[in-house]
Structure 1
Amino acid sequence: MSGFSRRCLAAAAILLISTELHAAARVYLLSASRGVMYSENAGRAWKDANRGLPPRCRPTALRSGPAGRLYLLTLDAGLYTSDGRGGPWVSLNTDAFRSRSLTAPDGAMRTISAFAADPSDPRRLLAATKHSLYKSDDGGRHWSALRGPRGNSNYFTSLAFTEREGLYLAGTSLNGLYRLGDGSLARSAGLPREPYTGSMFFYEEISALAVDRGRPGTWYAGLAFGKGIYVSRDGGGRWVPLKMPADLSGHYAVHDLAVSGDSLYVSAGPSLLRLHVPTGTWYGVNIGPILENARKIDSVHALLVADDNGAHPPLLNILASSGPGRLSPPAPSADKRRGIYAGVPVARKKLSSLIAGMKRHGLNALTIDMKDDFGLVHFPTDNATAREIGALRRSLDVRSVLDRLKKEGIYTIARVVVFKDQRLYRAYDHRYAIWNGRIGGPWKGSPGEYWVDPHSEFVHNYHIELSRDLERLGFDEIQFDYIRFPSDGPVHQCLYRYRKDGETYKSEALVDFLTRAKHSLKVPVSVDIYGFNGWYRFGNSIGQDIEAFARVVDVICPMVYPSHFGSRFYRSYPGNEHPYRVVLDSGLRSRALAGDGVFLRPYLQAFKMLSPTWGPGYITAQIKGAEESGSNGYTFWNAKGEYDMLYRGLKK
């Protein structure tokens, strides 16, 4: 359960309970290990409800439609529907939903990230596969693409039909709300947003939408990460926060909303709430017995609770942040690692002092560059490609270094930079470089950055072979960095010549590499991501999808250096409260997005850059944030290997 949900559970206990569910309440349960379960008696007995679903189907959410029809959203099997009366599940999939991942099983579908059924017409459906939108006018037999705003740079998290035919709502992870059908107009004024830098800002994720058809133009938006619920009474022209009970304000991660009569029903954390709209009075709906019964089932992810007495409409309750992802846990040896980073020159010259400092201050892991940002290889290898492209450099005496570190009980991590590689970019007449589709030559990004094509199997194989060499040398973990597409420069001119399907998401190409690497290695695999990609579900810009990565690797390392966020970001927190809150909320949000099936080990800041409160307190503030967010350790970064300030902070 996420930190946000835990807070909600604690707060919900003080609500006045206004409604008891009928003893025969219908409950659908989603489990990572058992799929879909069904109960006709409020969870006292459960039946299997997987008929019609493919083997090992991993459900993520369940939505209701007209006449009790149900719609099942899955991780990698697409979209299914059932009559809600015990009938089998029927596929609503189309080729457009198909996964383009080359390592996905045959028949795999993309994750259905959002769905809506028109409450007045069961033939009309909306669905999203993260970055793409689709609609059906015949109950899901045929689908057509909806032209979404901003190309495929959105991540769609919620959908709704409005009271006006042909007008739809699409909520996103960071770009606010859009009206589709009348020019894709943004309708986000008044919704909470966080300033970043200059005029740039990011909206909070819209996790649920509801339309009050009895009050035209009245729309509700539920937000993720504790930002509450907003209402617009003028068709999205202006949004205002709903007044919440004092003890609950700010604690909700909203999962579902529904309007029935004069009431708005809310699923938040493990609680069901009801707002009587005319009076503004909040009540609770007692689902305690159902929750108690549900938690007896293995790996429960979510519930859909319905009451045939009409006490409330069917609502989805998310019970755990882990979702239906990987079934095998991450490697235990990678847990609780607190360490520092060292480039090769630092490791060569300062190894003794690094070891001494780590031992004195309780650190137990060292990350060392083995393939750097320029594509240079710093360890002994017989790899033919590395030799042909001139990547080999005077190597570190790796075996001696590893023997010494292991003798001191220090966990060793090999950092391997992947798709930013100047040597491979220039080699073989730029054969593996990202191409410039406008001028017909190798693409050039920001000065000093040279990128190879992340779709290339040759590029994948080269880095996997190097990683296997590092494993044989004795490293305890392989850590991949620059697992992304370029973000700076004229990226609109990039042409990916090795992409086999033009509809492939960038995240699918990156997951292909990570999947192949993970299957080729016995040691734990970690991956570095931008700190902001652990903060929001980003669009298809650079491909770092923390949800997808978490199902493959053992450790995700968000780079949450407070200095590297925008100049206006989180500046409402003064002094060392700023680095503390940046790291704390980064950890909480990353966990909510990635789930519980992966370790989170953030990179923290051990350098002064853009940090006016720099000092020992800055260090301890970051550590406090990492620990309180439930992270599985941390790594401090200083490119020069100067960790005196870190050690001073650790003494406090």
Structure 2
Amino acid sequence: MKYFFYPIAIAALIFLIVIGVLVYVREKGSDTISGSSIPLVSVGEKAPEKTPEERIAEAKERSSHIKGLYMTADVANDQGAGATRLRDKIIQLAETTEINGIVIDVKEVCGPDYSPENLKKLIDELHQKNIWAIARIAVFKDASQIEVHPEWYLTRKAQIPVEDWCARKKYLQAKNPAGEKPSVYFWRDTKGGYWLDPASDGARHYIAELGKKMIDLGFDELQFDYIRFPSDGDTQNAIYPVWDKKTPRHEILKSFFEFLNASLKSHKPEIIMSADLFGYVATQREDLGIGQRLQDIGNYFDYTSFMVYPSHYYSGLVLPADPQDALPAVNLTAHEARAHPDTVVYRSLLAARNFLDGKTRMPDSRAERGTKIATSTQNIASTTSFAIASSTPVSGAKLRPWLEDFFHEQDKAAKRPYGAEKVRLQIDAAQKAEPHGWMLWNAANVYTEEALRKE
């Protein structure tokens, strides 16, 4: 019997020696085993929680190389066969190619459009597969609150006939409990869209609260679109309930950016925020009449996402010479812009990056710049150039552009780059300008897989 106890005694002795070593190491002030980065955590003891600073740093690092695809609210939430097939295909692309992020509509221009249960399930699946989840929120173009909060909206003196962009999604409109209908004529844009007053405190809090709900559902990033004043329609007849039309539009938006940043970052310090901007905003200092200025965006958003779709440069692209990078002037018509998608993407992003870094100064006026962005494509850009500026950065925001994966049949018929060639030209140009990722847009959620690198 005495031999039976020898193994037990030896095991007990080894156990006591190990415990003694661990205690000694702890008393010496070390929190790791010598020669290892493994922390000493007792059995049953939880690993220490990360500090807010650590979580912020981790989120910034993870978000800095996102290559994403757009997903509509219907595809994200509908459990039918068609939506499921498209949803699964997008996720499969994220598992097998360089794609590592998905931008999901949670609020379009007709209003918030999501099922909390279905959306949470999708977010959990994305996180299990290490896919970055981004919530896209259309901000000031919104039809959902007209019955319950008409005081937030642009109105007009007399009604005019316009189409109803949200006719098939009336169910997204909040209903007045008393059944009362607004006694005002709402101002509508050319597509029949309703617009919130960017200066309205009620409208601002409405957007911020929706953002907090998306944070609580688990999104890694919030992306804000239509974060501007309206651009289409008889804007001169729009009556704003709050904005006095004297305060510059860009000042109104800047105050909103500051409010939104403070509201959401206080709710979750590590949440990443991004803003979608017109592609033309990347190349000029003026606000284009919609309040968006490059110098106002960057201090309140982690990423700026210019929609540098070559097909959307309706007035072409006219840029002065770039002395910083020894690049010649650019003077492309709308047709030529679509024929040179890489030039449009690269030069637009490079102009924005150099300005934000303080390397070049955007001309102060359209006259100095040598072109009227919205109306002219004259060959006069070569007579001016971006001025070299001081090295003081204007903003530290990173650029992560939207690229187009659509209109391929039109481009093919016009003998322009199309399909995988067109998409890849844009991707490579975006990466060359700034290696912080990009996103592809296709409203039908069908993407050109051949353009994506396999992983």
TM-score by length of 2: 0.63
CA distance in 1, matches of 2:245, 2:76: 43
CA distance in 2, matches of 1:578, 1:548: 29
Q: Is the 8 A contact 1:346 1:640 kept in 2?
A: no
Q: Is the 8 A contact 1:576 1:618 kept in 2?
A: no
The correspondence for 1:514, drawn from 251, 254, 257, is: 257
3-state SS of paired residue (1:454): coil
In the alignment, what sits opposite 1:623? 427
In the alignment, what sits opposite 1:431? 151
The correspondence for 2:403, drawn from 566, 579, 604, is: 604
Alignment RMSD (CA, Å): 2.5
CA distance in 2, matches of 1:589, 1:641: 30
Larger mean CA deviation between 358-367 and 561-570 belongs to: 561-570
Indicate yes or no: 2:196 matched with 1:452: yes
Q: Is the 8 A contact 2:310 2:338 kept in 1?
A: no
Indicate yes or no: 2:315 matched with 1:594: no
Q: Is the 8 A contact 1:537 1:593 kept in 2?
A: no
CA distance in 1, matches of 2:306, 2:442: 16
| Aligned AA (1:593) | F
Q: Report deviation, 1:420.
A: 0.4
Q: Report deviation, 1:603.
A: 0.3
Q: Is the 8 A contact 2:313 2:334 kept in 1?
A: no
3-state SS of paired residue (2:233): coil
Label 1:587 to 1:457 Cα distance change in 2 as closer, same or farther (>3 A): same
Q: Is the 8 A contact 1:571 1:578 kept in 2?
A: no
3-state SS of paired residue (2:403): strand
Q: Is the 8 A contact 2:151 2:241 kept in 1?
A: no
Gaps of 5+ in 2: 1-55, 78-83, 160-183, 318-331, 358-394
Indicate yes or no: 2:61 matched with 1:332: yes
Label 1:573 to 1:641 Cα distance change in 2 as closer, same or farther (>3 A): closer
CA distance in 2, matches of 1:635, 1:429: 34
| Aligned AA (2:342) | Y
Residue correspondence of structure 1 range 148-159 to structure 2 within 5 A:
none
Q: Report deviation, 1:611.
A: 2.7
In the alignment, what sits opposite 2:132? 411
Cα offsets for 1:65-93 (capped at 9, x unmatched)? xxxxxxxxxxxxxxxxxxxxxxxxxxxxx
The correspondence for 1:554, drawn from 283, 293, 302, is: 302
Label 1:572 to 1:427 Cα distance change in 2 as closer, same or farther (>3 A): closer
Label 1:580 to 1:540 Cα distance change in 2 as closer, same or farther (>3 A): closer
Q: Report deviation, 1:638.
A: 0.7
Label 1:622 to 1:475 Cα distance change in 2 as closer, same or farther (>3 A): same
| Aligned AA (2:129) | E
In the alignment, what sits opposite 2:101? 365
Indicate yes or no: 2:166 matched with 1:422: no
Label 1:649 to 1:588 Cα distance change in 2 as closer, same or farther (>3 A): same
Q: Report deviation, 1:352.
A: 2.0
Label 1:525 to 1:379 Cα distance change in 2 as closer, same or farther (>3 A): farther
Label 1:572 to 1:605 Cα distance change in 2 as closer, same or farther (>3 A): closer
Structure with more relative contact order (C-alpha pairs < 8 Å, separation 6 or more): 2
Q: Report deviation, 1:421.
A: 0.5
3-state SS of paired residue (2:111): coil
The correspondence for 1:399, drawn from 89, 96, 120, is: 120
Q: Report deviation, 1:374.
A: 1.0
Larger mean CA deviation between 618-627 and 540-549 belongs to: 540-549
Q: Is the 8 A contact 1:435 1:495 kept in 2?
A: yes
The correspondence for 1:650, drawn from 449, 452, 455, is: 452
Cα offsets for 1:524-572 (capped at 9, x unmatched)? 1111011111121124610011211111111110001111111644249
Q: Report deviation, 1:649.
A: 1.3
In the alignment, what sits opposite 2:371? none
CA distance in 2, matches of 1:429, 1:403: 34
Q: Report deviation, 1:495.
A: 2.3
Q: Is the 8 A contact 2:310 2:341 kept in 1?
A: yes
Q: Is the 8 A contact 1:576 1:621 kept in 2?
A: no
Cα offsets for 1:398-418 (capped at 9, x unmatched)? 211111101111011000111
Q: Report deviation, 1:457.
A: 0.4
| Aligned AA (1:431) | E
| Aligned AA (1:650) | L
Larger mean CA deviation between 517-526 and 335-344 belongs to: 517-526
Cα offsets for 1:557-593 (capped at 9, x unmatched)? 0001111111644249969860000000111012133
CA distance in 2, matches of 1:429, 1:469: 20
Q: Report deviation, 1:489.
A: 0.5
Label 1:400 to 1:436 Cα distance change in 2 as closer, same or farther (>3 A): same
| Aligned AA (2:452) | L
In the alignment, what sits opposite 2:285? 537
Label 1:524 to 1:504 Cα distance change in 2 as closer, same or farther (>3 A): same
Residue correspondence of structure 1 range 47-446 to structure 2 within 5 A:
331-348=60-77, 349=84, 350-380=86-116, 397-424=118-145, 426-428=146-148, 430-436=150-156, 441-446=185-190
3-state SS of paired residue (1:428): coil
Label 1:333 to 1:508 Cα distance change in 2 as closer, same or farther (>3 A): farther
CA distance in 2, matches of 1:572, 1:449: 26
In the alignment, what sits opposite 1:497? 241
CA distance in 2, matches of 1:622, 1:553: 23
CA distance in 2, matches of 1:339, 1:528: 14
CA distance in 1, matches of 2:288, 2:98: 40
Which of the pair has more CA radius of gyration? Answer: 2
Cα offsets for 1:120-143 (capped at 9, x unmatched)? xxxxxxxxxxxxxxxxxxxxxxxx
- Structure with a larger share of its residues in helix: 2
Structure 1 vs Structure 2: percent identity of aligned residues? 31
| Aligned AA (2:248) | Y
The number of aligned residues is 306
CA distance in 1, matches of 2:295, 2:149: 36
